[in-house]
Structure 1
Amino acid sequence: MDSNMLITAGSHSTYHFLSLIVLLPALGALIMQLFNDKENTRPNIHRNIAIGFLSADFLLIVIVFSFLFNKQTSQLQLIERISWLPAIGLEWSLGVDGLSAPLVILSGLITLLAAIASWKITNKPKLYFSLILIQASAQALVFLSQDFLLFFLAWELELVPVYLLIAIWGGKRRLYAATKFILYTALASLLILISGLALALSGSEFTLNLSELTARSASGTFAIFCYLGFLVGFGVKLPIFPLHTWLPDAHGEANAPVSMLLAGILLKMGGYALIRFNVQMFPETHIKLAPALIIIGIVNVIYGALNAFAQDNVKRRIACSSVSHMGFVLLGIGAINALGLSGAMLQMISHGLIAAAMFFVTGSFYERTNTLSIPNMGGLAKVLPITFALFLISSLASLALPGMSGFVSEITVFLGITSQEGFTSIFRSITILIAAIGLVLTPIYLLSMCRRVFFGPRIPALAMVKEMNARELSIGLSLLLPTLIIGFWPRIATDIFENSTNALANTLETQTLISISQALQIS
């Protein structure tokens, strides 16, 4: 195991910046409870508190990762370890490296924009914005936790706000969608807990520290069972086929800001956890099962794209496209080399921005048309030219147009697979060919949706809708400009995680050589 991958290699922080990033939104939620929902003199106080605390939190994230985070190392940094419940070995243990840093930045940005997008929430605003703030704390804790039990508690905590946000502020079938979401994710969490505790108990000493669990380098049948438990548990959140069916329902019923959180952050938790746990903790097992992971990724890409064709609801079509795009994350992880892992990380960042933009713009024209049915829309380009422009740009980014982040991430994944000499040439060729079919299908279902919604027969009832305002335009641009910047200058993103993915790839390469050497000795 590469010593750079160990938590003990990093330096400890005495300023607790990571704790502040995690706890600042939760503090805002507590302060919000001092104000009454029926406070007529300040009707927007809850929204303003949420936006204020999330703005401060995002500013802190930018400062910390601009000036205190060292991009030149793969070591964990700004480590904080405080004994919390020593009786069960639980520590408040936080740390950040190249795998978690970009996702913390992404979650801070999207959560802030989702709160601003919730400008018109009038039903139970205190509860709504409190849940948004709690969600912000939970998701940051997921990415920063270095203790398994702390990670698991954060993983479970973020399920509750999402369930309530869908169940209370969703559409007509909101209870069904919210219940389906919580059942899938809660049952998956049992596998995560069982696998984690089994690994914690497997050594001579019980430990929940992630770096110590990584150092155990578990192998054999035990490692396979733990790996599969994590794969299914985290795969529900990614989501992987056939564990994805909660996603279209959740997106179809959630309001636009909640869909921004689902697509922009929650799905990325699954991808991050697969890299952090499956790849980093079980390198030997991951190498053996990588081809199976690639096959699952191909199924995701093709099935998600084909399923999108069948959707006449704009949000459900975008949700199915997310299943397809997250398949590229699986392909990158399965490539077991630096290029593949880099492509997987870049795809998570890219898809987080693009999908959040698409759901936001969809919510914008839903507020004006009161419909998400594609057959019931048409001719909107003339009355909503700015909305059309933003939706078209986000669609082009999603279909991996050269010059945008989606193209860079997906081509990097392809290069990772083609450069993996551990796979046979036939396997690599078939993988690239089938995955490329998904790339061909994507522009068909996205551009056909644009044509039917914004062109075609003009619906008379939609002739007088108003264009989006400056606030909405700012949100859209805040999501789409980074996709253009990353598309033309990928290093602004890859520099953050490159050393970590390279170190992890070196560990996998070392493990491959060890496996080959052992096989030769046996023969």
Structure 2
Amino acid sequence: MDASLPLSLASSSLPAVLPEGSAFPWLSLIVLLPATAALVMPLLPGDGSDPRLPRTLALGVLGVDFALILWVFARHFDGGLSELQLVERVSWVPALGLEWSLAADGLSAPLVVLSGLVTLLSVAASWNIRLKTRLYFGLLLVQATAQSLVFLSQDFLLFFLAWELELVPVYLLIAIWGGKQRQYAATKFILYTATASLLILISGLALALSGDSFTLNLSELAARSPGGTFGLLCYLGFLVGFGVKLPMFPLHTWLPDAHGEANAPVSMLLAGVLLKMGGYALLRFNVQMLPDVHLRLAPALIVLGIINIVYGALNAFAQDNVKRRIACSSVSHMGFVLLGIGAIDALGMSGAMLQMISHGLIAAAMFFITGVFYERTETLSIPNMGGLAKVLPITFAFFLASSLASLALPGMSGFISEITVFLGVTSYEGFTIGFRVIAIVLAAIGLVLTPVYLLSLCRRVFFGPRIPALAVVGDMKPRELVIGLTLLVPTLVIGFWPRVAINLYEASTNGLASELASHGAVAMGRLAALG
């Protein structure tokens, strides 16, 4: 590389322009369309209390954006390829080496689809917002842009800017439209995530400076694969930074507070998309960029995953607030993502990806349906509810269906994702048989506890003596039925036909597993030579 251009990315392994055959920057359009609409939002007429025009604009733009996502990935993306596709690369701030660099592969494509769907439905679920409606729907549009940019960025600084950008709308959405303790929950969220971001920035810049030349390109950073103490420190920095968002025990305590105070549409985004950013980033940075360290620390990730699964399930029993109980179940279910990533082999990482997709749909459905009966009962206190199945039979049916999906009922996506993770852990021969057996037995405790706390929640809320104040409430409306079905039908489709999701990412997870195997073989060869 030219010494006079120390910040140049001239030697990047990715093309400097749109690849041959790509006639249009589709990914840039997907990312920028919602943000452009957000800029128009303050110009809309009205006093900010009428949601119709802001809501219509947000719904229309995100509907077009989601349709575009589906069309682009159906027409221009090949799930059978492991390499980056739809590459777009433009020099943005040359003095910093910052590029507008976007691309998709099997790790990012399904999560972009999930993000587009959940964000669109969260707007549709925000039907009764009356406070500062232009700001509210404008923030949801900015959030849509930030989420897509996190999954599609191929420049570290661009990724980090997107990671930081998505914190702002979530903080404001909780702080302004949340419950009675919204300021506490929003402040706790921003303190945890901002501190974690500092570790991510330090680790990423350390990697960028570690080679012969400075680069922010993720593909070039992955090619360096540093090990030793330096690689270990970077890995731990990423693990803690991304573990907060996952969330990983003991960095999870912001989540129940955030869910407990956020309104239902914001909880849909938190559980359906934001937690998946942590899992995606662990695969993209810890596994892909630091494979040698990951091979050493994989057993520790499995231990952390087991703690997440068991602790989250046990903690759910202590919650008397419906949303806080579901939030603790999210901590437990995201433990399976850690378990799959730590399993190292292709099956385990495939299970981790499928668990992120599955949990994104199921958790979003559960929080949406919780919002449905909260609008009618004005309470989330489990002891203050009862007998709702008689007055809300359709709502009960949807909540029960989402609960069954969450507890991994065979035939639903939760079952196939969790069983794939288990098979991944048991099939990797790099772990001793004793370790594999103990890991599976302890993780299975979570599978036993999940039906208990979820079905007891259904019993206490929907059965038993009817609370007089809740004797007459209206059931789900057609709009709410459409939202619920849009989230639950894919869980059935994936449960019976998992290939519809696996085909999107299998080549990428297989590629990651092959890369880890090659690094493991090299390490074993070095040990044999020393011996």
TM tier, shorter chain?
over 0.9
Task: Give 3-state SS (helix, strand or coil) of 1:457's partner.
Answer: coil
1:303-322 pair list within 5 angstroms: 303-322=311-330
2:3 aligns to what?
none
Match of 2:509 among 470, 477, 501: 501
Q: Do the aligned residues in 1 keep the contact of 2:48 with 2:130 (CA within 8 Å)? A: no
Aligned-pair distance for 1:39?
A: 7.2
2:55 aligns to what?
47
Using the alignment, how far apart are the partners of 2:470 and 2:442 within structure 1? Answer: 40
TM-score (ref. length: structure 2): 0.96
Match of 2:219 among 211, 223, 231: 211
1:24 aligns to what?
33
1:291 aligns to what?
299
Aligned-pair distance for 1:27?
A: 1.0
Aligned-pair distance for 1:37?
A: 3.8
1:390 aligns to what?
398
2:44 aligns to what?
35
Q: Do the aligned residues in 2 keep the contact of 1:7 with 1:75 (CA within 8 Å)? A: no
Task: Give 3-state SS (helix, strand or coil) of 1:172's partner.
Answer: coil
Q: Which runs of 5+ in 1 are unaligned?
A: 1-5
Q: Do the aligned residues in 1 keep the contact of 2:377 with 2:470 (CA within 8 Å)? A: yes
Q: Do the aligned residues in 2 keep the contact of 1:118 with 1:257 (CA within 8 Å)? A: yes
1:15-414 pair list within 5 angstroms: 15-38=24-47, 44-414=52-422
TM-score (ref. length: structure 1): 0.98
CA-based RMSD of the aligned residues comes to 1.3
Please say which of residues 312-321 and 31-40 is displaced more in the overlay. Answer: 31-40
Task: Give 3-state SS (helix, strand or coil) of 1:33's partner.
Answer: helix
1:409-488 pair list within 5 angstroms: 409-488=417-496
Please say which of residues 64-73 and 172-181 is displaced more in the overlay. Answer: 64-73
Aligned-pair distance for 1:109?
A: 0.1
Q: Do the aligned residues in 2 keep the contact of 1:395 with 1:446 (CA within 8 Å)? A: yes
Q: Which amino acid aligns with 2:513?
A: A
Q: Which amino acid aligns with 1:416?
A: G
Q: Which amino acid aligns with 1:125?
A: T
Task: Give 3-state SS (helix, strand or coil) of 2:212's partner.
Answer: coil
Aligned-pair distance for 1:24?
A: 0.4
Q: Do the aligned residues in 2 keep the contact of 1:264 with 1:351 (CA within 8 Å)? A: yes
Q: Which amino acid aligns with 1:336?
A: I
Aligned-pair distance for 1:460?
A: 1.0
Task: Give 3-state SS (helix, strand or coil) of 2:107's partner.
Answer: coil
Q: Do the aligned residues in 2 keep the contact of 1:337 with 1:416 (CA within 8 Å)? A: yes
Q: Deviations over 1:417-446 (max 9, x none)?
A: 000000000000000000001100000000
Aligned-pair distance for 1:508?
A: 0.5
Aligned-pair distance for 1:14?
A: 4.0
Change (3 A) 1:39 1:428: closer
Task: Give 3-state SS (helix, strand or coil) of 1:206's partner.
Answer: coil
Percent identity between the two aligned chains: 74
Using the alignment, how far apart are the partners of 1:326 and 1:130 within structure 2? Answer: 29
Using the alignment, how far apart are the partners of 1:96 and 1:16 within structure 2? Answer: 12
Q: Deviations over 1:58-112 (max 9, x none)?
A: 0000000111111110110010000000000000000000000000000000000
Task: Give 3-state SS (helix, strand or coil) of 2:103's partner.
Answer: strand
Please say which of residues 265-274 and 42-51 is displaced more in the overlay. Answer: 42-51
Using the alignment, how far apart are the partners of 2:457 and 2:80 within structure 1? Answer: 43
Using the alignment, how far apart are the partners of 2:290 and 2:499 within structure 1? Answer: 29
Q: Do the aligned residues in 1 keep the contact of 2:48 with 2:131 (CA within 8 Å)? A: no
Task: Give 3-state SS (helix, strand or coil) of 2:43's partner.
Answer: coil
Q: Which amino acid aligns with 2:293?
A: T
Using the alignment, how far apart are the partners of 1:301 and 1:139 within structure 2? Answer: 26
Q: Which amino acid aligns with 1:235?
A: G
Q: Which amino acid aligns with 1:172?
A: K
Change (3 A) 1:295 1:8: farther
Aligned-pair distance for 1:7?
A: 4.8
Q: Deviations over 1:4-60 (max 9, x none)?
A: xx75699464410000000000111112121134179x7511010000000000000
Change (3 A) 1:8 1:83: closer
Q: Deviations over 1:173-199 (max 9, x none)?
A: 000000000000000000000000000
Using the alignment, how far apart are the partners of 1:174 and 1:11 within structure 2? Answer: 47
Q: Which amino acid aligns with 1:429?
A: V
Aligned-pair distance for 1:478?
A: 0.3
Change (3 A) 1:92 1:443: same
Task: Give 3-state SS (helix, strand or coil) of 1:349's partner.
Answer: helix
Q: Do the aligned residues in 2 keep the contact of 1:378 with 1:452 (CA within 8 Å)? A: yes
Using the alignment, how far apart are the partners of 1:502 and 1:441 within structure 2? Answer: 32
Using the alignment, how far apart are the partners of 2:54 and 2:467 within structure 1? Answer: 38
Change (3 A) 1:47 1:413: same
Using the alignment, how far apart are the partners of 1:55 and 1:481 within structure 2? Answer: 19
Using the alignment, how far apart are the partners of 1:85 and 1:8 within structure 2? Answer: 18
Using the alignment, how far apart are the partners of 1:95 and 1:54 within structure 2? Answer: 20
Using the alignment, how far apart are the partners of 1:14 and 1:189 within structure 2? Answer: 36
Aligned-pair distance for 1:413?
A: 0.2
Change (3 A) 1:413 1:460: same
Task: Give 3-state SS (helix, strand or coil) of 2:250's partner.
Answer: coil
Q: Deviations over 1:324-360 (max 9, x none)?
A: 0000000000000000000000000000000000000
Using the alignment, how far apart are the partners of 1:207 and 1:419 within structure 2? Answer: 37
Using the alignment, how far apart are the partners of 1:218 and 1:168 within structure 2? Answer: 44
Q: Do the aligned residues in 1 keep the contact of 2:19 with 2:88 (CA within 8 Å)? A: no
Please say which of residues 27-36 and 199-208 is displaced more in the overlay. Answer: 27-36
1:3 aligns to what?
none
Using the alignment, how far apart are the partners of 2:36 and 2:479 within structure 1? Answer: 26
